[in-house]
């Protein structure tokens, strides 16, 4: 087989060059050239030994067919051992699927996948490829995570390979044909046919594509670990996002022990599902009642408000804390943690205009307890209540939740999944809810034993929530 010739291809204009240029000779873009392996002259791309010819890849018919005639196979799912992970995946790992797990270094990706591997190895064959750590290091972690001694098939079906060479990894995958393979991490793998450094765009793309071809052919579910790097030098998982079936991001506050797993893309399930874990010294533990995590333990105090955020199908009670104090700056300081700063600015403007509160003379700090990011506008009313409560030094009555989006005209707009949110609030012992005006909540309120206060404007909602008119001097 002839040796492949290499070329560098500009990612924005497609110009080709035989050597690397910092600036594309075609379009003049900076840092756009990426190395690509072009097929050798005999037209055959080298691939893992024994790899089938492209035509055999799958038995896809070459002609179109009526959609009714397309055969259906029920999606089998493998349980990962973590209900939280399974839910984010859409109900479990689909055989033959390619899942990218991204996250900052040290967040716990290796821990999560090794723990899942321990469980999955009881029911199927699992290959764990560690390209970053030696076999001893993985073994040490495996010990620390304490594979539980529960009976089951021998843990021997978890195979470990510490290797960075793509070719060897492909060979091992092909000879073992595991049901699940974990590659930790895709950035550390290295295709010897490319001259670029491991982790570069070209390497990451080539390695992932080669792994995918093999995995799809033999129905191996692949879990790829990818690092998120802020610098442009290392290829982030962005390069891979179009290639894989699901992109999970594992995130968390370095200063807190809980970790959040989200699906940013999922071809086999809904996105915006949220899995919550806690990092302990013996590994990750699922948090089955995350609302408790995001509720302050101190009880209500001035400037706090509780909202019900919805992450996918999952309602979460979250505490918002606000501090409003007179400013000594020419332009007041506004900081928001866990909520977009522009949202905060907008809510403050609505309060200033429609309640007549002179907030532009006050600094305003807002934080979401527990390090969660709340993106949905349903949190608006909670933000407004926390700000007004701090401004007036008021405490919201205990057991109150607030849900509602603020319109720029001061109106309270309806939010989705209101019933789900109220059910969760009632389940956690809340007995008062301030919500946008909606029809048909009466029976639900009785059923849940919840006092539901409906309001059409933010002013009415705050009067209902606080029991006093915040606008009155």
Ligand X SMILES: Nc1ncnc2c1ncn2[C@@H]1O[C@H](COP(=O)(O)OP(=O)(O)O)[C@@H](O)[C@H]1O
Among 281, 298, 393, 473, binds ligand X (CB under 6 A): 281
**Binding residues among 139-198 for ligand X as defined by CB under 6 A:** 144
Class of residue 56 by CB neighbours under 10 A (exposed 0-12, middle 13-18, buried 19+): exposed
* Nearest distance from C-beta of residue 259 to ligand X, angstroms: 9
DSSP one-letter string for 335-372: EEESS-HHHHHHHHHHHHHHH---GGGEEEEEEEGGG-
Find the part of the chain contacting ligand X (CB under 6 A) among 104-112, 156-164, 331-339, 410-418. 104-112
**127 or 450: CB nearest ligand X:** 127
Taking the C-alpha atoms of residue 449 and residue 431, their distance in angstroms, rounded to an integer, is: 7
Strand order, beta sheet including 33-37: 16-17, 6-10, 33-37
107 binds ligand X (CB under 6 A): yes
* Nearest distance from C-beta of residue 280 to ligand X, angstroms: 8
* Nearest distance from C-beta of residue 160 to Mg ion, angstroms: 14
Question: Distances from the Cα of 53 to the Cαs of 15, 43, 182, 244, in angstroms?
Answer: 30, 12, 25, 22
* Nearest distance from C-beta of residue 185 to ligand X, angstroms: 8
Contact 469, 450 (CB under 8 A): no
> Any idea which residue has 């996250």 for tokens?
103
Interior CA angle at 364 toward 307 and 295, to 5°?
25
* Nearest distance from C-beta of residue 202 to Mg ion, angstroms: 23
Residue 371: CB atoms within 10 Å: 18
Find the part of the chain contacting Mg ion (CB under 5 A) among 21-29, 84-92, 108-116, 153-161. 108-116
Please count the residues of this chain forming the interface with Mg ion, following the rule CB under 5 A: 1
Among 92, 108, 315, 404, binds ligand X (CB under 6 A): 108
**207 or 463: CB nearest ligand X:** 207
110 binds Mg ion (CB under 5 A): yes
Which does residue 42 touch among ligand X, Mg ion, none (CB within 5 to 8 A, set by kind)?
none
Among 176, 279, 302, 444, binds ligand X (CB under 6 A): 279
Which does residue 17 touch among Mg ion, ligand X, none (CB within 5 to 8 A, set by kind)?
none
**110 or 417: CB nearest Mg ion:** 110
Among 14, 25, 39, 105, binds ligand X (CB under 6 A): 105
Q: Taking the C-alpha atoms of 121, 126, 127 and 129 in order, what is their torsion angle to the nearest 10 degrees?
A: -70
* Nearest distance from C-beta of residue 135 to ligand X, angstroms: 15
Q: Which residue is at the shortest CB distance from Mg ion?
A: 110
Q: Which residue is at the shortest CB distance from ligand X?
A: 110
Question: Distances from the Cα of 85 to the Cαs of 43, 238, 426, in angstroms?
Answer: 42, 21, 26
**42 or 281: CB nearest Mg ion:** 281
Taking the C-alpha atoms of residue 386 and residue 343, their distance in angstroms, rounded to an integer, is: 14
Among 39, 106, 146, 155, binds ligand X (CB under 6 A): 106
- 381-390 burial, b if ≥16 CB within 10 A, otherwise e? bbbbbbbbbb
137 binds ligand X (CB under 6 A): no
Interior CA angle at 185 toward 150 and 138, to 5°?
40
**182 or 450: CB nearest ligand X:** 182
Spell out the residues 6+ positions from residue 243 whose beta carbon is closer than 8 angstroms to its own. 98, 205, 208, 209, 212
**146 or 299: CB nearest ligand X:** 146
Spell out the residues 6+ positions from residue 175 whose beta carbon is closer than 8 angstroms to its own. none
Find the part of the chain contacting Mg ion (CB under 5 A) among 103-111, 241-249, 283-291, 331-339. 103-111
103 binds ligand X (CB under 6 A): yes
255 SS3 class: coil
Alpha carbon 162 to chain centroid distance? 27
- CA-nearest of 281, 279, 319 to 401 is 319
Among 36, 97, 111, 417, binds ligand X (CB under 6 A): 111
Find the part of the chain contacting Mg ion (CB under 5 A) among 104-112, 206-214, 392-400, 424-432. 104-112
**109 or 432: CB nearest ligand X:** 109
371 binds ligand X (CB under 6 A): no
* Nearest distance from C-beta of residue 225 to Mg ion, angstroms: 6
**110 or 115: CB nearest Mg ion:** 110
Which does residue 106 touch among ligand X, Mg ion, none (CB within 5 to 8 A, set by kind)?
ligand X
**163 or 405: CB nearest ligand X:** 163
* Nearest distance from C-beta of residue 307 to ligand X, angstroms: 29
Taking the C-alpha atoms of residue 184 and residue 402, their distance in angstroms, rounded to an integer, is: 43
Taking the C-alpha atoms of residue 109 and residue 226, their distance in angstroms, rounded to an integer, is: 9
The residue ranges that bind ligand X (CB under 6 A) are: 103, 105-111, 144, 279, 281
For Mg ion, the binding residues (CB under 5 A) are 110
């Amino acid at each position: 087989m002839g040796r492949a010739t290499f070329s560098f291809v500009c990612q924005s204009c497609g110009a080709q060059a035989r050597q690397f240029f910092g600036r594309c000779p075609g379009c003049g873009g900076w840092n756009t050239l990426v190395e690509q392996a072009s097929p050798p002259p005999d037209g055959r791309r080298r691939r893992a030994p024994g790899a089938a010819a492209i035509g055999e890849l799958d038995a896809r018919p070459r002609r179109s067919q009526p959609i009714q005639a397309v055969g259906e196979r029920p999606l089998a799912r493998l349980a990962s051992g973590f209900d939280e992970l399974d839910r984010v995946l859409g109900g479990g790992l689909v055989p033959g699927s390619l899942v990218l797990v991204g996250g900052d270094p040290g967040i716990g990706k290796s821990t999560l996948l090794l723990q899942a591997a321990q469980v999955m190895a009881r029911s199927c064959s699992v290959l764990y490829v560690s390209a970053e750590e030696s076999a001893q290091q993985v073994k040490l972690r495996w010990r620390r995570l304490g594979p539980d001694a529960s009976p089951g098939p021998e843990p021997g079906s978890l195979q470990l390979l510490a290797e960075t060479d793509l070719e060897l990894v492909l060979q091992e995958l092909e000879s073992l044909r595991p049901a699940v393979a974990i590659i930790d991490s895709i950035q550390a793998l290295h295709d010897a046919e490319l001259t670029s450094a491991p982790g570069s765009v070209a390497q990451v793309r080539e390695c992932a594509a080669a792994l995918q071809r093999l995995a799809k052919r033999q129905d191996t579910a692949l879990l790829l670990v990818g690092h998120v790097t802020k610098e442009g030098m290392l290829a982030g998982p962005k390069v891979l996002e179009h290639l894989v079936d699901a992109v999970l991001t594992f995130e968390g506050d370095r200063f807190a022990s809980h970790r959040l797993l989200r699906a940013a893309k999922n071809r086999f399930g809904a996105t915006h599902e949220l899995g919550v874990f806690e990092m302990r010294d013996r590994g990750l533990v699922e948090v089955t009642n995350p609302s408790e995590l995001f509720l302050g333990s101190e009880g209500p105090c001035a400037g706090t408000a509780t909202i019900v955020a919805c992450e996918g199908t999952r309602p979460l009670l979250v505490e918002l804390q606000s501090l409003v104090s007179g400013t000594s700056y020419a332009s007041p300081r506004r900081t928001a943690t866990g909520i977009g700063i522009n949202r905060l600015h907008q809510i403050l403007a609505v309060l200033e205009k429609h309640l007549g509160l002179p907030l532009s003379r006050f600094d305003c700090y807002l934080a979401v307890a527990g390090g969660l990011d709340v993106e949905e506008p349903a949190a608006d009313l909670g933000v407004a209540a926390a700000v007004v409560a701090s401004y007036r030094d008021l405490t919201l009555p205990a057991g109150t939740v607030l849900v509602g989006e603020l319109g720029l005209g001061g109106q309270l707009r309806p939010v989705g999944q209101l019933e789900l949110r109220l059910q969760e609030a009632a389940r956690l012992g809340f007995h008062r809810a301030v919500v946008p005006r909606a029809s048909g909540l009466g029976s639900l309120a009785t059923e849940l034993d919840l006092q539901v206060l409906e309001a059409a404007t933010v002013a009415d909602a705050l009067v209902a929530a606080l029991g006093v008119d915040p606008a009155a001097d």
